[in-house]
């Protein structure tokens, strides 16, 4: 039994709730009276409620995010119906802004806005002492990182074996991009470097080999970034994998030297480009040197083994389809392993809403609040771009078609236009964007290339066969067998043998 239950619904099982672990780590004397119970959004809120109430809690803290907002509302509403005496405290990015417009904020007893690492403990101490605050909305003071106890001992053996291990060396972002909640986090605060590296050593000693940094600007502080890279390189083992978000136009030589030392697949950089259109970037308060950005991407692709995941956004205020297409083709030419075509979201609290009237920005009122249309992109066009985004992820990003996918736009003027044509052709045949079996997708891609593009079937079969083996699969699908001999023994060795995430491993050339 626990007086305090900390809970949330993760996007998937593999995602551990980093924020809840910070709350528990900093509960002080109340830590022994608390527990974490995690769910994921595939589970019914009513079933989650049963597990929570089995603890007979006095306080339930719920982490609310864009991906679980609707499920969290049902969970909190049912909890207050069934056990109205249980005090519900909610927090998280989704309920840190526009609290007066959200039913969940009205139903919950208390809402902590902002970074609740210390504020939650203070509130729980008052509530358990029968000293209730007079207001239900409690703005948290911004905690300094040297005051926070690290949460990493709260990753258990099951987490280490099966879940993403999130870590952070800093919080906040120095930039003001209007679509992003990080633009509201001022200033950037670093965890004391010695403390952070000591905690990383503990995780390594416990067998953690895959680290996902949640820092928004890993390469902002040269000394910190370099020290972290050096730390992990000096402790490198073949299954090490580090994920960072990086500022795209800041990659000084001191960082380049350490980045280049790592073998292929050990590092992944998530590079937020968002737009190449300088007028649009200025409109949304984004500072970016596109020439330096391009030089950095070329360096990463030509001189390092970094897996580059680059982001573009569809639907920014004033950006036409022609402008987006130009940016997309420009990015393809820089050859990142993955390009995420993201649909603009109107996150609560972000100043992107100031453009709504001028540019006719119409968003869905339901999470994840994606744009439906604007003056430049009507609804039908936006739907086509959503499909392109999904199919690009399945075909070009997944690593299942590393050699085959570029054939869609080979010898064609525009990668975007070529893939757009394929996207519409594919949708006409499957009528959906999800639930497409890999073998079916591969067969349709082969059909498109050989019938619509009129590429040589035996050559395409050989190319796709190599891609199939890259995924460590023992045999070819039926539609390729007429063109290819049976795989030789040991053919599955094309996949990287190290214990990297599968998608990243498939992108490494063999």
303 and 419: one domain? no
356 and 426: one domain? no
181 and 139: one domain? no
308 and 404: one domain? no
Q: In Å, what is the CA distance from 102 to each residue of 60, 214, 383?
A: 19, 27, 28
pTM for the model: 0.93
Q: How many CB atoms lie within 10 A of CB 339?
A: 24
Domain assignment of residue 47, given as a range: 4-145
What is the distance between the alpha carbons of residues 148 and 432, in angstroms, rounded to a whole number?
46
Of 498, 506, 446, the closest CA to residue 476 belongs to 446
Domain assignment of residue 405, yes or no: yes
CATH code of the domain covering residue 229: 3.80.30.20
Phi, psi of 25 (to 5 degrees): -60, -30
Domain count, the chain: 3
26 and 68: one domain? yes
Domain assignment of residue 408, yes or no: yes
Parallel, antiparallel, or unpaired: how do β-strands 362-363 and 371-373 relate?
Answer: antiparallel
**Widest Cα–Cα separation across the chain:** 77
pLDDT of residue 20: 98
**Distant-in-sequence contacts of 118-121, Cβ < 8 A, 24+ apart:** 118/26, 118/143, 118/147, 118/148, 120/23, 120/26, 120/27, 120/61, 120/89, 120/91, 121/23, 121/26, 121/27, 121/28, 121/30
Domain assignment of residue 388, yes or no: no
135 half-sphere exposure, CB direction, 13 A CA radius: 7
Collect all residues with Cβ–Cβ distance below 8 Å to 339 and sequence separation of at least 6: 310, 311, 312, 328, 331, 332, 392, 396, 397
pLDDT of residue 493: 45
Domain assignment of residue 81, yes or no: yes
348 and 229: one domain? yes
What string of pLDDT tens digits covers the 510 residues of the chain? 899 999 999 999 999 999 999 999 999 999 999 999 999 999 999 999 999 999 999 999 999 999 999 999 999 999 999 999 999 999 999 999 999 999 999 999 999 999 999 999 999 999 999 999 999 999 999 999 999 999 999 999 999 999 999 999 999 888 889 999 877 766 889 999 999 999 999 999 999 999 999 999 899 999 999 999 999 999 999 999 999 999 999 999 999 999 999 999 999 999 999 999 999 999 999 999 999 999 999 999 999 999 999 999 999 999 999 999 999 999 999 999 999 999 999 999 999 999 999 999 999 999 999 999 999 999 999 999 999 999 999 999 999 999 999 999 987 779 999 999 999 999 999 999 999 999 999 999 999 999 999 999 999 999 999 998 887 777 888 999 999 987 666 555 455 445 678 888 888 864
Domain assignment of residue 489, yes or no: yes
296 and 415: one domain? no
122 and 210: one domain? no
Collapsing DSSP to helix, strand or coil, 84 comes out as: coil
129 and 180: one domain? no
175 and 119: one domain? no
pLDDT of residue 490: 57
Count Cβ atoms within 10 A of the Cβ of residue 184 and give its class: 0-12 exposed, 13-18 middle, 19 or more buried: middle
Domain assignment of residue 152, yes or no: no
CATH code of the domain covering residue 39: 3.40.50.280
73 and 210: one domain? no
Domain assignment of residue 65, yes or no: yes
Residue where a domain stops, chosen among 145, 173, 198: 145
Domain assignment of residue 385, yes or no: no
Parallel, antiparallel, or unpaired: how do β-strands 165-167 and 137-139 relate?
Answer: unpaired
Residue where a domain stops, chosen among 350, 377, 404: 377
Burial profile 134-173: b = 16 or more Cβ within 10 angstroms, e = fewer? eeeebebeebebeebbbbbebbeeebbeebbbbbbbbbbb
245 and 348: one domain? yes
Parallel, antiparallel, or unpaired: how do β-strands 87-91 and 59-63 relate?
Answer: parallel
Phi, psi of 139 (to 5 degrees): -75, 125
Residue where a domain stops, chosen among 331, 352, 377: 377
- The string of DSSP codes covering 112-165 is EES--TTHHHHHHHHHHTT---S-SEEEPP---GGGSPP-GGG--HHHHHHSBE
Of 378, 371, 377, the closest CA to residue 353 belongs to 371
pLDDT of residue 475: 80
Q: State whether the Cα torsion 362-366-369-370 is positive or negative.
A: negative
CA dihedral 482, 485, 486, 490 (to 10 degrees): -150
pLDDT of residue 486: 73
pLDDT of residue 128: 97
């Amino acid at each position: 039994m626990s007086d305090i239950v900390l809970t949330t619904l993760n996007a998937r099982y593999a995602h551990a709730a980093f924020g809840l672990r910070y709350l528990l780590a900093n509960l002080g004397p109340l830590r022994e009276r608390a527990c974490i119970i995690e769910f994921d959004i595939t589970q019914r809120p009513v079933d989650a409620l049963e597990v929570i109430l089995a603890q007979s809690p006095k306080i339930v803290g719920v982490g609310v995010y864009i991906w679980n907002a609707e499920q969290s509302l049902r969970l909190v509403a049912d909890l207050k119906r069934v056990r109205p005496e249980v005090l519900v405290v909610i927090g998280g990015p989704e309920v840190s802004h526009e609290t007066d417009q959200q039913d969940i904020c009205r139903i919950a007893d208390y809402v902590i806005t902002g970074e609740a690492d210390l504020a939650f403990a203070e509130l729980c101490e008052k509530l358990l002492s029968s000293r209730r605050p007079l207001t239900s909305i409690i703005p948290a003071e911004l905690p300094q990182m040297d005051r926070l106890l690290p949460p990493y001992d709260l990753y258990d053996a099951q987490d280490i074996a099966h879940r993403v291990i999130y870590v952070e060396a800093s919080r906040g972002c120095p930039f003001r991009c209007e679509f992003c909640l990080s633009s509201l986090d001022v200033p950037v605060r670093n965890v004391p470097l010695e403390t952070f590296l000591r905690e990383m050593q503990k995780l390594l000693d416990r067998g953690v080999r895959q680290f996902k940094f949640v820092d928004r600007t890993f390469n902002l502080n040269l000394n910190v970034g370099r020290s972290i890279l050096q730390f992990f390189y000096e402790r490198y083992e073949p299954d090490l994998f580090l994920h960072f978000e990086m500022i795209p136009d800041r990659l000084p030589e001191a960082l380049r030297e350490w980045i280049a030392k790592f073998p292929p697949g050990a590092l992944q950089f998530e590079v937020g480009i968002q737009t190449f259109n300088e007028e649009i970037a200025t409109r949304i308060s984004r500072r970016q040197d596109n020439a330096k950005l391009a030089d950095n991407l070329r360096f990463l692709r030509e001189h390092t083994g970094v897996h580059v995941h680059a982001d573009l956004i569809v639907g920014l205020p004033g950006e036409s389809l022609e402008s987006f297409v130009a940016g997309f083709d420009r990015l393809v030419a820089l050859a990142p392993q993955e390009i995420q075509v993201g649909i603009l979201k109107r996150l609560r609290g972000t100043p992107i809403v100031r453009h709504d009237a001028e540019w006719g920005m119409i968003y869905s009122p339901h999470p994840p609040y994606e744009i439906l249309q604007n003056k430049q992109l009507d609804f039908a066009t936006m739907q086509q771009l959503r499909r392109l985004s999904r199919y690009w992820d399945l075909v070009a990003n997944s690593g299942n078609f590393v050699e085959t996918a570029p054939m869609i736009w080979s010898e064609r003027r525009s990668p975007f236009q070529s893939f757009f044509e394929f996207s519409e052709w594919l949708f006409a045949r499957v009528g959906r964007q999800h639930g497409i079996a890999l073998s079916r997708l591969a067969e349709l891609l082969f059909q498109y290339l050989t019938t619509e593009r009129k590429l040589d079937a035996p050559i395409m079969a050989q190319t796709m066969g190599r891609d199939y083996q890259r995924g460590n699969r023992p045999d070819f699908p039926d539609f390729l067998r007429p063109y290819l001999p049976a795989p030789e023994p040991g053919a599955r060795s094309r996949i990287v043998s190290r214990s990297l995430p599968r998608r990243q491993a498939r992108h490494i050339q063999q």
